Amino acid sequence: MIISRYLIRETALPLGTVTTILVVIFMSYNAARYTADAAAGLLPAATVIYLTLLRSLIAIEVLLPVALYLSVVMGIGRLYSDNEIMALNASGISELQLVRTVFLFSLIVAFIVGSLSLVVRPWAYQKSYLLRAQAEAEFNLDKLESAQFYSAEKSGTVIYAEHINNSENRLEQVYFYQISDERVLVINAEQAWQPVTNPFAPPVLKFRNGVAYHIDLPGTQDVKMRFKDLSVILEGEDESYYRAKSKAVGTRQLIDSTLPKDLAELQWRFSTPVTTLLLGILGVPLCRATPRSSQYTKAVIAALIYAIYYGLSVMAKNWVQQGVVGPFPGLWWPEALLGLLVLLLLLPNLRSLGK
């Protein structure tokens, strides 16, 4: 029991340090990304803080397994480097007992990751999409200036407003231009504003009292019309909206869905605790596999193995989303390869146990 607590402590201490470092790096990246949007007038400062925290909460389900993996490699690797494992072996503590201790600790971390993935992940995505939709609906008018052009390259739109009514969050005397492969839309209206809509749907811009010109590029069906109220979708119904929706859907709802995108999201959520458990166990034989190498060399090898595994996981998820791969093997074949690697590295100890 004392040895088990010692081994867990040697793993838990670097786990806290590595997790903190990874989370801080990820938060810094997202803060810089959202701050750029805030500087462009797309997001309020308060929304930047909330989005950064929510995105970091989502990222922990990926960062925590990596942190556990590296922590086992560093913690147990130090014991190998200091010949403490050799002393434990002389005392009758085998590597399989070491694996069992790490397995139990990894099981606890896997439970935390599973809870984050199955419950916290969809909740955090729902909140982040809603915040983003509200921020986009407000246009953050205090950052915009009148008599200036506002362009959105993603949706192919340009907006010009002679005046900005900050009290009502509305643009006045508006000129709007939108181009796509099929048409050009030009609008001159007294007012325009962006209402809060479904965060999983494309944003909409509403106009009041104006004239619209619809130019049909492929044909000759050009249209001119006067309107009292007119709504225009700023972005097409892109596949990214539906993928985003899957991320925000509750796990219970995903179970009842037969759509490939929902299947990929569901299997991803269930695979994260399995990945955590396998990575935790994998760290032990990796230290033994290179006993003469330095701690940094072991970390580099471990990082390379994880990079290959993560790339295969992302590829597997994309295949399931696109319908190329069905429910089986789905996202599970990278997990199977990872489990096979663990089994191969532990095989010498299993054989000695059989003898």
Note the pLDDT tens digit of each residue in 120-168: 999 988 888 877 766 655 554 455 667 777 766 555 678 888 888 877 7
Note the pLDDT tens digit of each residue in 30-54: 888 777 766 655 667 777 888 888 8
**For range 262-270, the mean pLDDT:** 91
The tokens for 103 are 């397995």
More confident residue, 221 or 280: 280
Provide the pLDDT for residue 43: 66
- Average pLDDT score, the chain: 80
Q: How far from 20 is each of 221, 310, 343, CA to CA, in Å?
A: 59, 21, 30
Report domain extents, the chain: 2-137+242-354, 155-234
**How does residue 237 score in pLDDT terms, banded at 50, 70 and 90?**
very low
The tokens for 167 are 């009290």
Provide the pLDDT for residue 240: 47
User: Is-contact 306 278, C-beta < 8 A?
Assistant: no
How many Cα atoms sit within 13 Å of 274 on the Cβ side? Answer: 15
Which secondary-structure segment (H or E) carries 184? strand 183-193
Angle, alpha carbons 232-179-237 (nearest 5°):
55
Question: Which of 11-20, 194-203, 301-310, 338-347 has the least mean pLDDT?
Answer: 194-203
pTM exceeds 0.75 for this model: no
